[in-house]
């Protein structure tokens, strides 16, 4: 099937994440027909995935449907499908919607396909150490975390029980720090009185990073503060330690301390690296553009591909001036692309370079504690947390989502509860662990019968 569109200028946007959605919204008054293509039907607020994984938020809270967000924007058509090919000469993209193929033509193309987890050449680690990039990932991690406490409860022998109660987070960037902090809080606070055979507060939460310091993008003083806060919450932090192996029962490292060489741990979460989405490679091959080490497409200062002024690459997929892979870069570069298209349609074809305005960065440690840089301000502790709360509420899409998130935060942060602890039989011990028969656990519990919900 081929979509040729109308006689108006056709803008195709690939990806409905931070970049894609910003571009689409910025084109709302332009005299163009926009098609936004995404392989999923929702816009995912990735910075709160870790809260979904730890039972605070539901998938609906952080992933509203693209069609719903854009229902009032009459010049937009939403299409579900994965872009698998770009023909830069014929100006069309190939789309695969669960096996159904189509071709979509464009006059301007904005590629905003984001990034994926990188295991630095060890993709086999993904089997036992899922990453944190999608709803599927977060639900799997949720299943593994809550499932691990269930398994510990029915495991009589000490060593295997301790392995179920050990959680290793690999990567001490913002995502790893937030994840480790939440697992610690969950075990020490939210699961209190929930179990009879185990004390969830005895869980060991380990945060590892190959680099010598945590929270690389933050000023050193704030990173040190975060490490101190996490340690006080019971997180064990080991920096300068590389993971050399991951399997169902634990991880291997290159640590000099013998006790860290092998850490028996049933639950491992990979928060260590990202690489560009595969579309980067496809677009580069179609245009002759270069890519950087992470597979991001090298662009001109105005975010277009050299020789193809009608193709823009924005956000995590773009390689420009070593800009970081953060939401603000994606949104600002996407708006720049949309503004350039608008200007060209008005007859102004002058090139204007994209200039990024750094608005700051933040990470939560636990309830009421965060570190944040906002302009010249350096915030930590409760003021940092308030800044974090405000910014995240503002950036969430849609009033209904903000209201739902606020209620869930009240339950989790002011109360003790974790309102979103439903795990299904597919997730409870996660894809691969289902096949394992852990020592000390009764067979009855290695094959859960059906989905179940744990009230908080």
Ligand X SMILES: Cc1cc2nc3c(=O)[nH]c(=O)nc-3n(C[C@H](O)[C@H](O)[C@H](O)COP(=O)(O)OP(=O)(O)OC[C@H]3O[C@@H](n4cnc5c(N)ncnc54)[C@H](O)[C@@H]3O)c2cc1C
List of residues contacting ligand X (CB under 6 A): 14-20, 37-40, 44, 46-47, 49, 82-83, 112-114, 132-133, 174-175, 277, 279, 315-317, 325-328, 330
Q: Within 10 Å of residue 395's Cβ, how many Cβ atoms?
A: 15
d(CA 215, CA 411): 28
Question: Please, what is the minimum distance in Å from the beta carbon of residue 391 to ligand X?
Answer: 9
**28 Cβ contact partners less than 8 Å away, ≥ 6 residues apart:** 73, 75, 76
Minimum distance from residue 117 beta carbon to ligand X (Å): 8
Residue pair 207/177 in contact by the 8 Å Cβ criterion: yes
Name the minimum Å distance from CB 350 to ligand X: 26
Sign of the CA dihedral with 356 first, then 359, 365, and 366 last: negative
Minimum distance of ligand X from residue 425's CB (angstroms): 25
The helix/strand count (H/E) of the chain reads as: 16, 24
Strands (DSSP E) contained in 108-254 are 108-111, 115-117, 166-170, 204-209, 235-239, 243-247, 250-253
Rg of the chain over Cα atoms, rounded to whole angstroms, equals 23
If you ran DSSP here, which 8-state letter would residue 189 be given?
I
DSSP annotation string for 52-110: HHTTSS-HHHH--BHHHHTTT-TTEEEEE-EEEEEETTTTEEEEEETTEEEEEE-SEEE
Cα angle value 420/365/256 (rounded, 5°):
110
- Taking residue 258's Cβ as centre, other Cβ atoms within 10 Å add up to 7
Nearest residue to ligand X on Cβ basis: 17
Inter-axis angle of helices 220-232 and 174-185, nearest 10: 20
Residue number with CB closer to ligand X (19 or 200): 19
DSSP 237-276: EEES--EEEEETTEEEE--SSHHHHEEE-SEEEE-S-EEE
Catalytic site residue 178? yes
Mapped onto helix, strand or coil, the DSSP state of residue 421 is coil
Judged by CB, which is closer to ligand X: 184, or 198?
184
Query: Measured between alpha carbons, how far is 419 from 414 in angstroms, rounded to an integer?
Result: 12
Choose the catalytic residue: 178, 236, 249, 351. Answer: 178
Give me the sign of the Cα torsion angle 143, 146, 148, 151.
Answer: negative
Could you tell me the smallest distance in angstroms from the CB atom of residue 54 to ligand X? 12
| 16 vs 64, beta carbon nearer ligand X | 16
Q: Are 77 and 105 in contact (CB under 8 A)?
A: no
- Considering the complex, what minimum distance in angstroms separates the CB of residue 34 from ligand X? 15
Q: For residue 224, which phi and psi values (nearest 5 degrees)?
A: -65, -40
CB of 255 to ligand X, least distance (A): 25
Nearest distance from C-beta of residue 1 to ligand X, angstroms: 17
Catalytic residues: 178
């Amino acid at each position: 099937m081929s979509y040729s569109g109308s006689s108006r200028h056709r803008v195709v946007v690939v990806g409905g994440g931070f970049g894609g959605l910003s571009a689409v919204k910025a084109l709302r008054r332009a005299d163009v027909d926009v098609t936004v293509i995404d392989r999923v039907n929702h816009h995912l607020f990735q910075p709160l995935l870790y809260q979904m994984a730890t039972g605070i938020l539901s998938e609906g809270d952080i992933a509203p449907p693209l069609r719903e967000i854009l229902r009032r924007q009459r010049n937009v058509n939403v299409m579900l499908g994965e872009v698998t090919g770009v023909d830069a000469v014929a100006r069309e993209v190939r789309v695969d919607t669960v096996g159904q193929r189509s071709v979509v033509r464009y006059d301007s193309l904005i590629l905003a396909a984001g990034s994926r987890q990188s295991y630095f050449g060890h993709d086999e680690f993904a089997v036992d150490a899922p990453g944190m990039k999608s709803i599927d990932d977060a639900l799997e991690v949720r299943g593994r975390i809550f499932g691990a406490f269930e398994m510990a409860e029915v495991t009589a022998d000490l060593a295997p029980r301790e392995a179920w109660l050990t959680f290793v987070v690999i990567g001490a960037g913002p995502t790893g720090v937030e994840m480790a902090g939440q697992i610690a809080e969950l075990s020490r606070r939210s699961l209190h009185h929930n179990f009879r055979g185990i004390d969830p507060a005895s869980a060991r939460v380990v945060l590892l990073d190959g680099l010598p310091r945590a929270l690389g993008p933050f000023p050193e003083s704030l990173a040190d503060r975060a490490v101190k806060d996490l340690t006080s919450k019971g997180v064990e932090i080991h920096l300068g330690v590389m993971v050399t192996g991951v399997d169902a029962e634990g991880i291997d490292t290159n640590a000099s301390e013998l006790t860290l060489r092998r850490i028996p741990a049933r639950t491992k979460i990979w928060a260590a690296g990202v690489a560009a989405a595969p579309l980067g490679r496809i677009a580069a091959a179609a245009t002759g553009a270069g890519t950087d080490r992470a597979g991001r497409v090298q662009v001109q200062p105005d975010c277009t591909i050299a020789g193809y002024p009608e193709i823009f690459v924005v956000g995590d997929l773009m390689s420009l001036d070593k800009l970081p892979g953060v939401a603000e870069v994606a949104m600002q570069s996407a708006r720049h692309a949309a503004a350039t298209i608008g200007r060209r349609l008005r007859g102004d074809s002058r090139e204007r370079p994209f200039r990024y305005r750094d608005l700051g960065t933040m990470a939560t440690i636990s309830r009421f504690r965060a570190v944040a840089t906002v302009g010249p301000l350096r915030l930590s502790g409760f003021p940092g947390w308030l800044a974090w709360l405000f910014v995240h509420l503002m950036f969430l899409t849609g009033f209904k989502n903000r209201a739902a998130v606020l209620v869930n935060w009240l339950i989790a942060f002011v109360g003790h509860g974790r309102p979103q602890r439903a795990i299904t039989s597919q997730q409870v011990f996660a894809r691969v662990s289902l096949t394992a028969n852990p020592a000390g656990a009764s067979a009855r519990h290695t094959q859960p019968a059906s989905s179940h919900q744990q009230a908080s």
